[in-house]
Chains A and B, each alone.
Chain A
């Protein structure tokens, strides 16, 4: 149980295409006893487009929200969407560093912002404030043959000077959180490659080719599911998976879930509660095989006894199954 109360900035995507992120994350935070309040009447952070107009303007759009949170007296703002988070952190960084910049920004605002709020990704709050042990403590269910490739995307941990969290080249927070939730995690080399971000709409082919690489590497890593922490990543990998298939002649059919959904499954939430129906590539085949930790333990013991009887290691047996399930993909 974390003492402080957090702010929670959903951001536009989590109201729309990324509802399942919003819904599942709130559920998980509830289980982890993280207390949070949503600032009322928040507005869009400005995201990438604002940055093509002007630095001060972009900062102002972000700072408006930070100012609202600041007034409520909250110090830390959970920001599930990396794009919003970067917008906030950049504004914060620039305004804290230079008085003149802060003035210029505040000139555009009704309520001045005094740099009193720190935006943190949901991952950072769970990893640093809640802690791995607390994450593990709440696990009730498990999905035996789920193998997840944790995909952080480009800006979650970059640039280090702004992100101030985890390793920019080989981040591990999601790996450890999911592992703690009892999920098998693959060593995924493309963790931080860019998926094409906001270019999905105007530069579809470019994005499809980038996502193709990410999906291929995930399969190579032996994953049968990808975990994400970013609405854009999710959209480009999931929603556009069929575009990729038709463009490259591939036949990907790999579910792309928010890490919070996977945690939710481990915490025993119903698929509805986690809005599993909202992802395009269905993950039902995993949800169906979900069992309780207790059952898993019994199954394992049984398997070991049989193994002893047959005198062959249970591991080998598993491996065979793995390779099969991959071929199907």
Chain B
């Protein structure tokens, strides 16, 4: 319940000025979903395993979207705490791909450089860098790098011995022959992204 009363008090929303219609259009375009189909039954919030950790439960993210509250949404923790488990999408009575919309919101937030959950983004980035570098995922590397950058030096440290003991992981990364090809995908995408601003 602690999530209910913290930093969630919004000022009066002036519906005639403070509604960002372009933002709604953008989300509709990029996600291919129509938020106005949502009638706020709350099924997504009810099924979401992370509701307790969200600053705004999914159904309210949908509502904020309908109300064009761009800043509140893009600055929210919720969009980053969603793990795309697809429960909301599967059970939405209005057939909205809610998880898809959350995905799109993350993408937009990332593009606009406002990410409320730095650690999660950092983890993702470390993951992607490893991928760009080797073509595959180098688990040890990711963990170490992530801990270094995030400053949680000893996070999950106690797991180290377990993992090693059971010989679960490679100590050295396997670099695939086509690693450069994968890197190419990254580069081409970044070029394209720049071109379209």
B114-132: contact bitstring with A at CB < 8 Å (1 yes, 0 no)? Answer: 0001011111110110010
A41-80: contact bitstring with B at CB < 8 Å (1 yes, 0 no)? Answer: 1111011111111111100110010000000000000000
- Name the one of B119, B155, B167 contacting A278, with C-beta atoms under 8 angstroms: B167
B156 and A204: CB pair below 8 A? Answer: yes
A54 and B189: CB pair below 8 A? Answer: yes
Residues of A within 8 A of B83 (CB): 48, 154, 194, 196-199
Given A60-B185, A108-B185, A110-B181, A158 and B107 contact (CB-CB distance below 8 Å): no
Residues of B within 8 A of A49 (CB): 123-125, 127-128
Q: Count residues of A near B (Cβ-Cβ below 8 Å).
A: 59
Docked pose: A41 CA to B180 CA in angstroms: 12
Q: Smallest distance from the beta carbon of A42 to chain B beta carbons, Å?
A: 7
A16 interface residue (CB < 8 Å to B):
yes
A257-274: contact bitstring with B at CB < 8 Å (1 yes, 0 no)? Answer: 000000000000000000
Which residues 230-258 in A have Cβ within 8 Å of B in the complex? 239-240, 242-243
A53 and B184: CB pair below 8 A? Answer: no
Residue in A closest to B188 when the chains form the complex, CB atoms: A108
Residue in B closest to A192 when the chains form the complex, CB atoms: B87
Docked pose: A41 CA to B169 CA in angstroms: 19
Residue in B closest to A19 when the chains form the complex, CB atoms: B168
A210 interface residue (CB < 8 Å to B):
yes
A17 interface residue (CB < 8 Å to B):
yes
Residues of A within 8 A of B30 (CB): 55
B86 and A41: CB pair below 8 A? Answer: no
B189 and A108: CB pair below 8 A? Answer: yes
A110 and B107: CB pair below 8 A? Answer: no
Docked pose: A171 CA to B141 CA in angstroms: 36
Given A43-B135, A49-B124, A239-B159, A159 and B89 contact (CB-CB distance below 8 Å): yes
In the complex, 30 of the A-B residue pairs with CB atoms within 8 angstroms, ordered by the A residue number, are A13-B137, A16-B139, A17-B163, A41-B135, A48-B84, A49-B128, A51-B106, A53-B128, A54-B193, A55-B103, A55-B104, A57-B189, A60-B185, A61-B131, A64-B182, A108-B188, A109-B185, A158-B86, A162-B86, A194-B49, A197-B83, A197-B85, A202-B119, A202-B146, A204-B156, A206-B50, A239-B163, A240-B159, A278-B168, A280-B162
Q: Which 3 A-B pairs have the closest CB atoms?
A: A154-B85, A12-B137, A49-B124
